[in-house]
C-alpha cells in the first residue's frame, strides 16, 4: 500500500492534498522530522479497527466453533471484601 509523508507545515497549508492522498493509503505527518500522526480514510480506519463489526456476527461465524471458551462461573467472579 503506497503512503505519503508530509510535514505538519505542508499539512496545514494543503489539507485537501492530504485528504486526497489518504484515499490511496496512509499519510504520515511529521513534526520536526519525526512521524507524529497518521491520516487514514474512514474505510481504512474501520477495516483496521473492526469498527462496525457486531459481536453477534463474530459468534455466528463458522470458525467461532473452534475457539475454546469457558465462561466464568458466578462464584468465581465474587471477591471477598474486608468490611473492617
- Residue 46 sits in a domain whose CATH number is 3.40.1620.10
Q: Name the residue range of residue 54's domain.
A: 4-62
Complete edge-to-edge strand list for the sheet that includes strand 27-31: 4-7, 27-31, 34-39
Domain assignment present for 26: yes
Q: What global pTM score does this model have?
A: 0.59
Residue 50 lies in a domain: yes
Q: Per residue in 29-56, pLDDT tens?
A: 999 999 999 999 999 988 888 776 677 7
Residues, the chain, total? 84
Q: Count the domains in the chain.
A: 1
In a domain, 43, yes or no: yes
Amino acid at each position: 500500500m503506497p503512503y505519503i509523508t508530509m510535514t505538519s507545515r505542508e499539512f496545514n497549508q494543503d489539507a485537501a492534498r492530504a485528504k486526497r492522498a489518504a484515499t490511496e493509503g496512509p499519510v504520515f505527518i511529521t513534526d520536526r522530522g519525526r512521524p507524529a500522526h497518521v491520516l487514514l480514510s474512514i474505510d481504512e480506519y474501520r477495516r483496521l479497527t473492526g469498527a462496525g463489526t457486531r459481536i453477534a456476527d463474530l459468534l455466528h461465524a463458522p470458525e467461532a466453533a473452534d475457539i475454546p471458551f469457558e465462561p466464568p462461573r458466578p462464584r468465581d467472579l465474587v471477591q471477598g471484601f474486608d468490611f473492617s
